[in-house]
Amino acid sequence: MYSSKISGVGHYVPERVVTNDDLSKIIDTNDAWITERTGIKERRFADLEAGETPSVMGTKAAELALKRANISKHDIDFIIFATLSPDYYFPGPGVMVQDQLGIGEIGALDVRNQCSGFVYGLSVADQFIKTGMYKNILLIGAELHSGGLDMTSRGRGVSVIFGDGAGAVVISRAENGEEGILSTHMHSEGKYAKELALLSPNTSHWVPEIMQKNDPEDLSYYPYMNGNFVFKHAVVRFSEVIEEALQTNNCSVSDIDLLIPHQANLRISQFIQKKMGMRDDQVFNNIMKYGNTTAASIPIAMSEAWEEGRLQPGKLICLAAFGSGFTWASALLRWH
């Protein structure tokens, strides 16, 4: 059986910066309120008129990851695309990346696990590489939240949190079994599905029904989040799944060189850091600049960490995520 490693990382974020002060002009909020509750100072919003769709942003992130992996796009055997905001209801954006990159008729798989989608996708890619089915897999996480948020004071509790962007990694066969992806761990608890969800349109409450009802109280087409409930579960599941990865590999918290958590809320990351007794230099956060980019948050953070020289050979890297579903997941990597 083979082992797998991340051979290249890349990201793309839109040029348009939206600060907390910008939001305060259209929503009853302010910089202090947002910063205190989320740690976010600004986020990026895509330019729809310029064609910045999730697949387009994902393709741009992928091109950078391919360049850094020093391989050709034609070396890619398979595409995995994680998102909750696809270009279309169907088909998924994976096939669109295949077309936009101009590569052969390889398979494309879409992952719908929201905030933990990237780590779930990483686990899938890891298994494909380990079994020898594929040699190089392109994994993308991309989101376009800005077009589907309730940008009024009514929706401020959710809308101030999210931003747009994409991150990508190339996962390749590793020569050394002691480097690369050591293990991945995935969990779910569907009884809490509606605590963080976008419930319609859906197959039983489709667009015609929504339009016919014309009910101003029906806000099911905007994201809903039970914030305090999600926070309480997130801090428990984050620490559990990180510990699971460490125990599986006979490691301790002090062995982690860098924890890259899903960028959901800076308060969550800080809570986990304090709970696990980690130093500031052991945890990577960039939510201040980008907000919560859901499936894109971990690969964007990985790309920035790589640019800052924090992903060095031999370093032990832990990825962890929690989000809608509820789903949560972790991965432990020995950087190559």
Residue 47 in contact with residue 16, Cβ under 8 Å? yes
In the block, tokens 């009910």 appear at: 215
* Angle ∠(160,164,168) on CA atoms, nearest 5: 140
Residue 174 in contact with residue 334, Cβ under 8 Å? no
Distance CA 321, CA 238 (A): 7
Is 318 designated active site? no
Cα→Cα distances 59→52, 102, 125, Å: 10, 11, 18
- Which amino acid, one-letter code, is at 305? A
Distance CA 254, CA 267 (A): 21
Burial (0-12, 13-18, 19+ Cβ within 10 Å), 63 = middle
Catalytic residue (choose from 113, 233, 292, 336): 292
Beta bridge partners, 323, equal 327
DSSP state of 105: S
Catalytic residue (choose from 262, 265, 318, 336): 262
Catalytic residue (choose from 11, 20, 113, 115): 115
Is 185 designated active site? no
Closest C-alpha to 169, from 99, 70, 64, 243: 64
> Left if phi > 0, otherwise alpha if psi is -120 to 50, otherwise beta: which for 51?
left
Is 30 designated active site? no
Distance CA 78, CA 75 (A): 9
Task: Supply the residues annotated as catalytic.
Answer: 115, 262, 292
